[in-house]
Amino acid sequence: MTITSTVFAVPLAAVLLAATASTPAAAHSPAGPVPAAPSPAAFAPAAAHKSPWHSAWSTSQQAPSATAWFPNWSEKGFENHSVRQVIRVGAHGSALRVRLSNLYGTTPLRLTGATVARSAGGAAVRPGSVRTLRFNGSDGVTVPAGKELASDAVGLPVKAFEQLTVTYYFEGPSGPATFHNAAMATSYRATGNHVRDPDAEAFSEKSASWYLLSGVDVRNHGARRAVVAFGDSLTDGSGATPDANRRYPDQLAERLAGRHRAKTVLNAGIGGNKVLNDSECYGESALARFQRDALARPDVRTVIVLAGGNDIVMPDVPADRCTTPSPDVTAKEIVAGHRQLIRAAHARGVKAVGGTLPPYKGFMYWTERGDRVREEVNDWIRTSGAYDEVVDFDRVLADPADPEALRKGYASEDLIHPNDAGYKAMAEAVDPNSL
């Protein structure tokens, strides 16, 4: 049966300092006082979730932008292009639907056609698995500026941790494209309409970002409950092996697989994101995007918050359009921001789990001042009782011989982001019973 397309009316990197995605800036949070908490009505609990649709994959959206370290196609968008993107779903289902995002678009987005298929590696797909994506029964669709659309149901059964491809074709100009900058995964582009091609030959261009794709839902009737991992590049997966699904939320999802009342883990990280201030390059602040990116999915029951490192580090980085505004912040200000996130989660009926901030001594912009603030924030997370549960990422990742630095076997080259082993240790630090 065909499910009518749904419009989601949503409110408005991988490397902490490397991804230079530039967004038309939202209003910056003030440099001094912490922004006021959203009104309780903004986080009113959703109606009872009776839908058979469950979140299987999602990513946080960013405004179109040029980047120096992760060149991408978002600003120019697409015209007579097919864009093939590879994702890994975290839940099984008898059918699926894809969510197409024009969240940061300023004009309607006109999609000519799209398909979904099982990945055969790279840009190739498994023959016989290609399915047409339709919207209200039509191959093409126009997505209004600032909105998302869900496709009709597609009869493609999927398994948890199966890799899929979503391929879009834009005959006319798409306009600048809403995207996720640091995907830690490869996307592919071809000239012309190749949405049904099973082979990779036409897809000669590559990008490290996802475009116009915000989520995939699967249809099943189990009582799945989603966990959202919310934060910055430590959640987004900077330092992990690209195309290997070794971010900490990926490895946590694998740990939870097969447990009673299995949970899907959704990644809501954005590299460079801050708690208190928006960034021209790293998106709206955690306070501004928490409702949309962490709480809006109806099956979310737990959120793990790992945020504040960029508020601490960026004042010590040379000022440019990406890092500003970055006032020196106190632990008290960051804590106030965390308290707002906790209140918002509780108002939505969502459990809030707090993650301590890992060490970063050896990183080129480490300072004693910044580390003191980090330790004060961590002490509050551990001892205040404000969070329902605590995951002590700091102590798990710290070098026993120098607790202000990452353990050598867990650190990537920049000494602030974990490597695959470090992300595995983070996933193993989460108590499944706490979720």
Task: Give the torsion sign (CA, 435, 230, 424, 210).
Answer: positive
Q: Which two tokens stand for residue 270?
A: 């954005």
Instruction: Band the pLDDT of 418: cuts 50, 70, 90.
Output: very high
Instruction: Band the pLDDT of 69: cuts 50, 70, 90.
Output: low
Q: Which two tokens stand for residue 356?
A: 């301590």
Digit-coded pLDDT (tens) for 245-290: 999 999 999 999 977 667 899 999 999 999 999 988 888 999 999 9
Digit-coded pLDDT (tens) for 76-105: 999 999 999 999 999 999 999 999 999 999
Q: Which of 1-5, 342-346, 352-356, 366-370 has the lowest mean pLDDT?
A: 1-5
For residues 180-204, give the mean pLDDT: 97
Query: Could you tell me the residue ranges of all domains in the chain?
Result: 62-216, 221-434
Residues whose CB falls within 8 Å of the CB of residue 26, separated by 6 or more in sequence, listed in order: 12, 278, 284, 288
Percent of the residues in the chain that have a pLDDT greater than 90, as a whole number? 79
For residues 4-23, give the mean pLDDT: 32
In this prediction, residue 117 carries a pLDDT of: 98
Phi-psi region of 192 (alpha: psi -120 to 50; beta: other; left: phi over 0): left
In this prediction, residue 223 carries a pLDDT of: 59
Q: Which of 22-31, 116-125, 201-210, 305-314 has the lowest mean pLDDT?
A: 22-31
* HEC sequence for the chain: CCCCCCEEECCCCCCCCCCCCCCCCCCCCCCCCCCCCCCHHHHCCCCCCCCCEEEEEECCCECCCCCCCCCCCCCCCCCCEEEEEEEECCCCECEEEEEEECCCCCCCEEECEEEEEEEEECCEECCCCCEECCECCECCEEECCCEEEECCCECCCECCCCEEEEEEEECCCCCCCCEECCCCCCEEEEECCCCCCCCCCCCCEEECCEECEEEEEEECCCCCEEEEEEECHHHHCCCCCCCCCCCHHHHHHHHHCCCCCCEEEEEEECCCCCCCCCECCCECCHHHHHHHHHHCCCCEEEEEEECCHHHHHHHHCCCCCCCCCCCCCCHHHHHHHHHHHHHHHHHCCCEEEEECCCCCECECCCCHHHHHHHHHHHHHHHHCCCCCEEECHHHHHEECCEEEEECHHHECCCCCCECHHHHHHHHHHCCHHHC
Residue whose C-alpha is closest to residue 292's, from 96, 43, 97, 104: 43
* CATH classification for the domain delimited by 221-434, as one of 3.40.50.10810, 3.40.50.1110, 2.40.33.10, 3.60.130.10: 3.40.50.1110
Is 215 a residue whose pLDDT tops 90? yes
In this prediction, residue 67 carries a pLDDT of: 66
Distance between CA atoms of 214 and 151, rounded to whole angstroms?
12
Phi-psi region of 260 (alpha: psi -120 to 50; beta: other; left: phi over 0): beta
Does the pTM surpass 0.85? The reply is yes
For residues 20-41, give the mean pLDDT: 34
**Direct distance between the N- and C-terminal alpha carbons of the chain, in angstroms, rounded to an integer:** 34
Residue whose C-alpha is closest to residue 225's, from 128, 300, 305, 292: 300
Buried b (16+ CB within 10 A) or exposed e, 260-299: eebbbbbbbbbbbbbbbbbbbbbbbbbbbbbbbbbbbbeb
For residues 334-358, give the mean pLDDT: 98
Mean pLDDT over the full length of the chain: 88
In this prediction, residue 221 carries a pLDDT of: 74
Instruction: Band the pLDDT of 71: cuts 50, 70, 90.
Output: confident
For residues 225-253, give the mean pLDDT: 97
Distance between CA atoms of 171 and 79, rounded to whole angstroms?
6
Would you say 402 and 363 are in contact if contact means Cβ atoms under 8 Å apart?
A: no
